[in-house]
Structure 1
Amino acid sequence: MTTRQDTPRDTLRLNVQGMDCGGCERNVETALNRLPQVEQVSASSMNGTVSVTGHALDHDTLSQTLAKLGYPVVDASPKASSSPPWWRTPKGQLVVFSGALLLVAGLLTMSFPEVGSWPFVVATLVGWVPIGQAAWRALRMGNPLTIEMLMSIAALGALTIGAAAEAAVVVFLFAVGELLEGVAAGQARRRIAALANLAPATARLLEGDAIRDVPADTLTPGQRVLVRPGDRVPCDGRIVSGTSHLDESPINGESVPRQRAANDNVWAGTVNLDAALELEVTRGAADNTIARIIHLVEEAQAAKAPVARFIDRFARWYMPLVVGVALLVAVVPPWLTDLAWSESVYRALALLLIACPCALVISTPAAIAAGLSTAARRGLLIKGGAVLEQLGKLKRVAVDKTGTLTAGAPSVTDVEGWDEPSEQEVVRLAAALEQDSSHPMAVAIVEHAERSGVPLGRASEGQAQVGQGVSGRFEGRELTLMSPRQWQGGQAQTARIAALEAQGKTVVLLLDGERALGMLALRDEPREDTPAAIDALNRLGISVVMLSGDNARTVSAMGEQLGIEAEGELMPEDKAQRVRDWQAQGLGPVGKVGDGINDAPALAAADVGIAMGGGTDVALETADAALLKNRVMGVAELVGLSRATLRNVKTNVVLALGFKAIFLVSTLLGVTGMWVAVMADTGATVLVTLNAMRLLGYRFR
């Protein structure tokens, strides 16, 4: 016999319609958790998705259960452009119809008082029907204490005690609140759906000498496409021919266009600005950068932060408690005081309405979703609300040197001419020797000559001398570019070379025969934003430590230059052990930033691992967050956004609970009535949602 444990464990992700608030999420999670094959359910109103984990999951059973709740499963997430305007949605039409009935009822009772309260009764019942249907569906699925059930009790109870006008107003205001929640949730979903629209629908496929337009989602690795100036890049690819500036801001938020040339990688969704490019497709549409960003952000939004999970648990026992308190408010006062039964029941019904936890439940996921969306638009990928929450708590960040704090390639830092040659002449002669070499140091010298405006020549009879350097003939001279190890120079020159090497620089000598003409010093220099990024992290109260596998002298010199602790000659396992030691000493939470395979163990050991976007796939997969911009300042931006999001969450919770506390007291004292209670609940829900949406405009300082 096959037991449940023997069957495969599956995870299904379903796109649903109509799930716009925290109450909807709880309805879905409660109903699906009752199915025998389901182990775990996570519903996200911000994404309009339901993730289900269990054994031998049946898609049809899950879909039928959700449909019975009123949340039909759709094939794919709705695009931003396909969402109808609010007045064409069922919720919008209900608001318009209920509002019209309420207006007619008011006019009738004022014009013809003899009709009594019947117009308001009709308006209440018509507006209550969809609410009652939703309450009944949830009840059948084993979830009796829903927002819709509380509204039904309050509306029908008000009719019973003769408060028909207030019952009609309550039903109408609830419909308005539902509509506003739907509009706000739809706006958040459209922020993510809009990412999918960055890639063009068609691509210009090259087939020999022929060019034809094909759907961009049919491109496969190995094919070649033409991207004209002004076009969006249709795929992740590698430039085969052409040089152009690309606007990469849609992907990484970088405002300055970057020049890309042959063999450079480009991203789908970026914009070609200057010249035609021929690309080789490296990733299909389902696996390109845009698709991966969307997948990561949607998964991150579905993964609830600890504070969100706490509020969910709070809401589960809060609802029964509210019902119990309302029952006591209805029954106890008439026994102990001379308060009329109708008045005590009225206050109890108003209490049910003011106590609805919609605003409280939506306060956290709305802020988390907005924070994750804002980060994605800035090229900061965060894999979950828990990571976003933890980023703001970091106390120490360990960073790799090469490729993280530095650009990962050497550059010329010092040039000196000895005797007669000028610095410019030393650069010109050295560049002539290195013109045909692909060595990183040779490339750095040639690039320095180009930036300095030095006219470039090319040496003849070039010869690489293993362990010594390179030699060749240029303008009648026998030139050599070599390490100073085998050279015996003057005391002053030797001291100068030693001083430069003590700074972590690599020195090469330029010789004409046996005579030294000068020297060049090179070093893998810090990125332009590295000093500012370290300063920003320090201002945030975070200490920065460099952990590197490079030689200790170079690492120490770099640490002194940047003003941070530094430790070199570390193996990958040593870096991970340093992180664990800090955690054990209570110096955390600890973040780790890196870009290579050797950083993966430390990234996994850290409380938050952050990968540079230009790093290896291993680093990107191991990390909790990634910096697509390849800028160290992104770490400070992540921390700043996390803290802004947590402040937003706290503000939302205070707003939600504050509104409820004020109107709870006024309701119990009989100062405010049912319609004010509904306005307070709806107002709080809309207010916290709008406050969360402010994060979409968050500016990184």
Structure 2
Amino acid sequence: AQEKRAPTERLIDRFSRYYTPGVVAVAALVAVIPPLLFGGAWDAWIYKGLAILLIGCPCALVISTPAAIAAGLSAGAWRGLLLKGGAVLETAGKITTVCFDKTGTLTAGKPQVTDVISFAQPQAEVLRLAAALETGSSHPLAKAILDRAAADAIAIPPAEAAQALGGEGVSALVEGREVFLGSPPAAAARAALTVVQADQIAALNDAGKTVSLLVADGAIAGAIAMRDEPRPDAAEGLAALKREGIRTVMLTGDNRRTAEAIGRQLGIEVRAELLPQDKLRIVGELQREGAVVAKVGDGINDAPALAAADIGIAMGGGTDVALETADAAALHGRVKDVASMIALSQRTMGNIHQNIAMSLGLKAVFLVTTIAGITGLWPAILADTGATVLVTLNA
């Protein structure tokens, strides 16, 4: 926390450098000027000078900010919100725009099969052949198909001569039949799509779903649609940010139709089909427009934008490089934790302002009462130590 100290803490430290010598000078003048120039009693005015020294001691003022920052960082850690120092905690409360990655941040990062569509083969056969092709693959879409086949208790036949075709899909021989599963353009190059089939695929894409087509025996056998569903708390988390007047933007490399479908569902501004350098550029553009930008992501391609943003927030469970690059981490991976982090910062800054007002206010009151002869050394000691205790308790 000391390596990245909050700007307010640095300001208080600079203030104390001038404040403390100033208090010593005022106390000396109070002790010396009245007896020398106005015939005051030396013992009475030296006593008042000592009381002013005690009242002016900056302990409460200097501890007011680090106590609140330490309490804020600790309170965040209890809730799975890790912030790398006071500077991050203070800046979080000033955020005006939050940019979210889609996959693994706004969505769970675990695609699920939503539709199995029959064209030339029954649904069960479409799923059976697709699962045969995907057996052994670690790709998230392959896992979704295998999970659905397992849930439907489908017996998966062995595949022979399987090969992955870069950017297209996968092909193999299943029970002596040549079978291909892949993207609509790659499938259309192997077998003609009817207008009805093309319309069905477009409708699925508009619903935010990724579609893989199965080609068997030289014909389009069927389609499998998958979608990476939004996190359960995504809409709630975005709504919490909007209530605070914070702009939210989705930055994703996914195709525009899928991204816009998820964006409509969650109510967030969408910028799609982006490369990592595009995300970095957009963060820079928003900053030049005067926004204080937070970038939330979990992947390697988010790291440049995480580093460039005023606050980079990594989602728990993300890549090591994202966690290392970010200024803060939401360990529970909840979208609403971003709003919680901003609220924690604002509460901490409010606490700091209360502490500063409390410490300076008590000093001002006892300074006046001491010079007026109403209070002496013991109340001054109580005011100094009491203020330190009060601001620490308040933090």
Instruction: Judge same fold: TM > 0.5, yes or no.
Output: yes
Unaligned runs of 5+ in 2: none
Match in the other structure for 2:156 = 458
Percent identical across equivalent pairs?
Answer: 56
Greater relative CO, 1 or 2 (CA 8 Å, sep 6+): 2
2:96 counterpart (373, 395, 404)? 395
- Give the AA of the match of 2:211: V
Cα distance in 2 between the residues matched to 1:420 and 1:600: 44
Cα distance in 2 between the residues matched to 1:615 and 1:665: 57
- After TM superposition, the score normalised by the length of structure 2 is 0.85
2:348 counterpart (638, 645, 648)? 645
Mapping of residues 2-401 of structure 1, within 5 Å: 300-334=1-35, 340-401=41-102
Match in the other structure for 1:576 = 280
1:668 counterpart (356, 371, 374)? 371
| Cα offset, 1:511, TM superposition | 6.8
Cα distance in 2 between the residues matched to 1:350 and 1:508: 81
1:527-566 deviation digits (Å, cap 9, x = unpaired): 3332222222222322111222333333333323322122
Match in the other structure for 1:683 = 386
Structure-2 change in CA distance of 1:357 and 1:575 (3 Å):
same
Match in the other structure for 1:436 = 135
1:154-204 deviation digits (Å, cap 9, x = unpaired): xxxxxxxxxxxxxxxxxxxxxxxxxxxxxxxxxxxxxxxxxxxxxxxxxxx
Unaligned runs of 5+ in 1: 1-299, 693-701
Structure 2 residue matching 1:561: 3-state secondary structure: helix
- Give the AA of the match of 2:132: L
- Give the AA of the match of 2:128: L
| Cα offset, 1:357, TM superposition | 0.9
Structure 2 residue matching 1:367: 3-state secondary structure: helix
| Cα offset, 1:461, TM superposition | 4.4
- Give the AA of the match of 1:353: L
Cα distance in 2 between the residues matched to 1:677 and 1:638: 39
Structure 1 residue matching 2:225: 3-state secondary structure: strand
2:130 and 2:181 in contact (8 A); partners too: no
2:311 counterpart (581, 603, 608)? 608
Match in the other structure for 2:243 = 539
1:426 and 1:519 in contact (8 A); partners too: no
| Cα offset, 1:468, TM superposition | 5.8
1:118-165 deviation digits (Å, cap 9, x = unpaired): xxxxxxxxxxxxxxxxxxxxxxxxxxxxxxxxxxxxxxxxxxxxxxxx
Structure 2 residue matching 1:393: 3-state secondary structure: coil
Cα distance in 2 between the residues matched to 1:490 and 1:525: 29
Cα root mean square deviation, aligned = 3.1
1:427 and 1:449 in contact (8 A); partners too: no
- After TM superposition, the score normalised by the length of structure 1 is 0.50
2:126 and 2:221 in contact (8 A); partners too: no
Structure 1 residue matching 2:104: 3-state secondary structure: helix
Q: How many residues align?
A: 387
Structure 2 residue matching 1:577: 3-state secondary structure: helix
| Cα offset, 1:427, TM superposition | 7.9
| Cα offset, 1:368, TM superposition | 0.8
1:301 and 1:369 in contact (8 A); partners too: no
2:116 and 2:127 in contact (8 A); partners too: no
2:107 and 2:229 in contact (8 A); partners too: yes
- Give the AA of the match of 2:101: D
Mapping of residues 611-650 of structure 1, within 5 Å: 611-650=314-353
Structure-2 change in CA distance of 1:455 and 1:428 (3 Å):
farther
Structure 2 residue matching 1:388: 3-state secondary structure: helix
Tell which deviates more after alignment, 565-574 or 676-685: 565-574
Cα distance in 2 between the residues matched to 1:384 and 1:419: 60
Match in the other structure for 1:590 = 293
2:162 and 2:172 in contact (8 A); partners too: yes
